[in-house]
Structure 1
């Protein structure tokens, strides 16, 4: 009996999807290793073991360990940007922002602590490894672009706001008990007080 011919385009798409899944598995494995064992534990062998892939796969998808770490940082940044999009959908008026942000940060610290810890280890590593710095700055640059519906505002105030958010997350990671949204909401309300260009309805 003649077997039906496979569509070459479908086979190509299937291989591409499989390759993307493996690449993402490697990135996720890198973040888990960093969160659990620190940046010093990142190696081809350790990441391959964590991802359950052959060590050669790491070199196939990434030119170097730094290349992998940059990809992990960018993955984390894109996830944060997606979260900001989700927060926009929850906001009906300006005064909603502190509560919405507080709930988001509390969830990041409680439900995704290990991933957040791994991302911040990489974030700090960028101070020593210049190759990681553009990826580390991606979060700040992208998030600042949401302020006032993309119209921006006073640069020092914007920088202070996002520096404070970084500080909240860092303090939350070292706390014995992660803060709740109720703990964080008053802090967020204080932080947005001087940001008078957040006055437009529904804009961060």
Structure 2
């Protein structure tokens, strides 16, 4: 059975004392965001209900009330993350109107990985988890399909598939590299994969 959520004024799990809380309609979403923070910091192997509760600043019973198992919590958190990334990436590419703009956007996606460290780490945590849990592969497939569709609007489906795979590899390389690759090298690689500009004679 699921543990009932602590009501205002009740003692929190672990005897932490009495805390009165107002109605919190976004508590479930805050728990999921906290779970993503823990996943980014500790990975799937390190997440616990208690860590998530502490991160979200909610009673432990609130987490177990909404998510009976860690498997469910991780799946829901990753689903939230994927939808956020799909929305962000789609909006980013929707503003692109030329080949040069697309190249600049894609170069920035690789170059700015350190500033988007949490998001990049979560992406690879999801992929690693999906290798062991086939149920999560629907999320990775949804993400790949959506990103390729967004790219295909500007490049065509075959080029979009190549670019999508290239970008994943380059982002992983950037995360793990101890030396920053020159921007011109990143740009040249993307340009080569993108292919000849329409109407170009070279």
The superposition leaves residues 27-60 of structure 1 with CA deviations (integer Å, 9 ceiling, x where unpaired) of 2222222222222111111211222111122222
Correspondence for 2:82: 77
Kindly state the Cα deviation for residue 151 of structure 1 after the two structures are TM-superposed. 9.9
Provide the rounded CA distance (Å) in 2 between the counterparts of 1:73 and 1:121. Answer: 9
**Residues 110 and 178, structure 1, Cα contact 8 Å, conserved in 2:** no
Question: CA distance change for structure 1 residues 32 and 103 in 2, over 3 Å: closer, same or farther?
Answer: same
Give the number of equivalent residue pairs. 177
Say yes or no: does 1:53 pair with 2:58.
yes
**Residues 78 and 126, structure 2, Cα contact 8 Å, conserved in 1:** yes
Correspondence for 2:132: 128
Correspondence for 1:19: 25
If asked which structure has higher relative contact order (CA below 8 Å, sep 6+), I would say 1
Matching residue within 32, 40, 49 for 2:37: 32
TM-score by structure 2 length?
A: 0.73
Kindly state the Cα deviation for residue 150 of structure 1 after the two structures are TM-superposed. 8.9
Higher helix share: 1
TM-score by structure 1 length?
A: 0.73
Kindly state the Cα deviation for residue 125 of structure 1 after the two structures are TM-superposed. 0.9
Question: CA distance change for structure 1 residues 139 and 152 in 2, over 3 Å: closer, same or farther?
Answer: same
Say yes or no: does 1:64 pair with 2:75.
no
Question: CA distance change for structure 1 residues 100 and 115 in 2, over 3 Å: closer, same or farther?
Answer: closer
Instruction: Provide the aligned C-alpha RMSD in A.
Output: 2.8
The superposition leaves residues 74-125 of structure 1 with CA deviations (integer Å, 9 ceiling, x where unpaired) of 2222222223233234423123211112113333x12220232133112211
Question: CA distance change for structure 1 residues 181 and 150 in 2, over 3 Å: closer, same or farther?
Answer: closer
Question: CA distance change for structure 1 residues 57 and 192 in 2, over 3 Å: closer, same or farther?
Answer: same
Question: CA distance change for structure 1 residues 28 and 111 in 2, over 3 Å: closer, same or farther?
Answer: same
Correspondence for 2:145: 141
